[in-house]
Amino acid sequence: MTRIYHYLPLLLLLQTTWFLSTHAQSRLTAEDMAKFVPSGDAYISGGNCFRLTEAMDWSRGSIWYREAIDLKSPFVMELNLVLGCKDRDGADGMVFIFHPYPTMTGRPGEGMGFGGLRPSLGIELDTWENEHLGDPPQDHIAILQDGSPAHWYNLAGPNIVPNLEDCRPHRIYVSWKPDYQLLSVAIDGVERIRYKGDIINEVFDGISEVYWGVSGATGRYNNRQEICFEKLEFAKVAPLAYLMPSQISQLKKQNGLLLERIQFPSGQVRLNDATTFELDKLVRYLKENDAYAIEVAAFTDSSGSESGNQRISQARAEAIKRYLIGKGVASKRIYAFGYGESNPIASNATAEGRAKNRRVAFSVFRIVP
Ligand SMILES: [Ca+2]
Ligand SMILES: [Ca+2]
């Protein structure tokens, strides 16, 4: 049981990664394009292009990639964008958005579809000066966070760039290098902004899998805003986790399966990386065996009050249930129970025994049709 974990680093190394259109010149295929969900006024305007807004007031459109990407791995996005033909009276711009929620768009207008999204990171290409947000009068680029288009909360910028509203396509190159914690954006071959920082922990509070999209908006002034992908290259962690046959047979027994890396520090409910790695094994099993429902039974040791233990064990079972639902297991197939300090399997007199009693047991049973 423990031996497998000695090989874990190796297994993690072997995790498959896959790439979309890794050739510099290759355009995205129709299949790649189908991975984007357009919302608002956005639509596929032909080939590898999306129109985000028309040249009309109060238009908003965004596209979201269906699958999360992992910020622990590098990514590159290369694209052409058109920010319209109206320079002096054109607006508002686009934002490349990263955040943990699929297909969720923020406030339009000066918020450019990014406003209010939290936690989030946004790369804005802003063509309209909103003085109260600290915008410079010229077109500019900035790296924003937490749904705030105001520049006092910038991670980087605003940096003034040559006029982008000239009817012409501009080449945008976005790259994230986790080894150097470096996010960099070039426009027409010149790096215009960079941010060096621990984005995963500082912006996303430890979450490395995020969704991404691009949004554009107009307000009282407008422009036709369009984006054409040339290259997308990123790694997505494939589900590697699976249960061993002996664990599956334990799962079908009444006492259930104990996964030893599913542990909660005393008094805490939050799921850590090791725990979610284990839970992904159950997700895979449940997806491949849809005739089964699962019971999640959480227990505590006897430290603290009985009622407190009851409450926290229920909260932990519910947290696990929410995680499984988030990974696509139907809610009606999951039964979450907190049993508090009842049914100890070891002595509560020793630290070792208490650690054993703080456990979550999983058992599956056939759903009666
Ligand atoms: Ca301009
Ligand atoms: Ca603006």
Domain harbouring 345, CATH code:
3.30.1330.60
Identify whether 60 is part of a domain.
Answer: yes
124 CA distance to ligand 2 middle (Å)? 9
Contact residues for 141 (Cβ-Cβ < 8 A; gap 6+): 123, 124, 125, 126, 157, 158, 159, 161, 185, 187, 192, 193
Per-block mean pLDDT, blocks of 10 residues, the chain (369 long): 40 36 54 86 89 89 87 92 87 89 76 86 92 91 93 92 92 94 95 96 85 89 90 67 79 88 80 84 90 95 93 96 96 96 94 90 90
Nearest to residue 261, comparing CAs of 282, 288, 245, 240?
A: 282
Dist. CA 76 → ligand 2 center (Å): 26
Q: Specify whether 225 is located in the same domain as 252.
A: no
Token code pair at residue 51 = 């129109």
Residues 300-338 as b/e (b if ≥16 CB within 10 A, e otherwise) read bbbeeeeeebbebbbbbbbbbbebbeebebeeebbebeb
Q: Which ligand is nearest to the CA of 136?
A: 2
- Residue 151 gets which letter from DSSP? G
Q: Which residues form the domain of 80?
A: 17-234
Based on the fold, state whether residues 37 and 174 are members of the same structural domain: yes
Q: Which residues have their alpha-adjacent CB atom under 5 A from ion ligand 1? A: 87, 127, 139, 163, 165
d(CA 319, CA 313): 10
CATH of the domain at 93: 2.60.120.200
Q: Answer with the one of 182, 211, 234 that is the final residue of a domain.
A: 234
What pLDDT sits at residue 103? Answer: 67
Cα-to-centroid distance, 99 and ligand 1 (Å): 28
Same domain flag for 147 and 283: no
Among 272, 274, 282, 353, which Cα is nearest to 319's? 272
Task: Classify residue 338: in a domain, yes or no.
Answer: yes
Q: What is the pLDDT of residue 143?
A: 97
What distance in angstroms lies between residue 90's CA and the mean position of ligand 1's atoms?
7
Confirm if 338 and 310 have CB atoms less than 8 A apart: yes
pLDDT at res. 369 = 72
Report yes or no: 280 and 239 within 8 Å, Cβ to Cβ: yes
Q: Give the pLDDT score at 320.
A: 97
- Domain end among 185, 212, 234: 234
- 158 C-alpha to center of ligand 1: Å? 14
Q: Indicate the number of domains in the chain.
A: 2
Using the CB atoms, write b or e for 211-229: b if 16+ within 10 Å. Answer: bbbbbbbbbebbbbbbbbb
Q: Does residue 158 sit in the same domain as residue 292?
A: no
Do 176 and 271 lie in a common domain? no
Distances (CA, A) of 241 to 4, 137, 211, 260: 12, 51, 21, 15
Residue type, 192: R
Residue 1 is predicted with a pLDDT of 36
Q: Are residues 227 and 305 in the same domain?
A: no
At residue 353, what are phi and psi to the nearest 5 degrees? -65, -40
- Centre of ligand 2 to C-alpha 188, Å, is 21
pLDDT given for residue 20 in this prediction: 37
Cis-peptide into 9, omega within 30 deg: no
CA distance 114 to 94: 9
Task: Using alpha carbons, select from 72, 119, 128, 126 the residue that is nearest to residue 99.
Answer: 119
Clarify whether residues 212 and 290 are in a common domain. no
For residues 208 and 72, membership in a common domain is answered with yes
pLDDT score recorded for residue 27: 67
CA of 279 to the centre of ligand 1 (A): 50
- Residue 6 forms part of a structural domain: no
Same domain, 226 and 128: yes
The reported pLDDT for the residue numbered 241 is 58
Residues with Cβ within 8 Å of residue 87, at least 6 apart in sequence: 163, 165, 166
Please check whether residue 1 lies inside any domain of the structure: no
Last residue of a domain, one of 194, 211, 234: 234
Residues 105 and 75 in one domain: yes
User: Among all ligands shown, which has an atom nearest to the Cα of 164?
Assistant: 1
Q: How far is the CA of 143 from the centre of ligand 2 (A)?
A: 13
**Are residues 302 and 228 located together in one domain of the fold?**
no
365 φ/ψ angles, rounded to the nearest 5 degrees: -145, 150
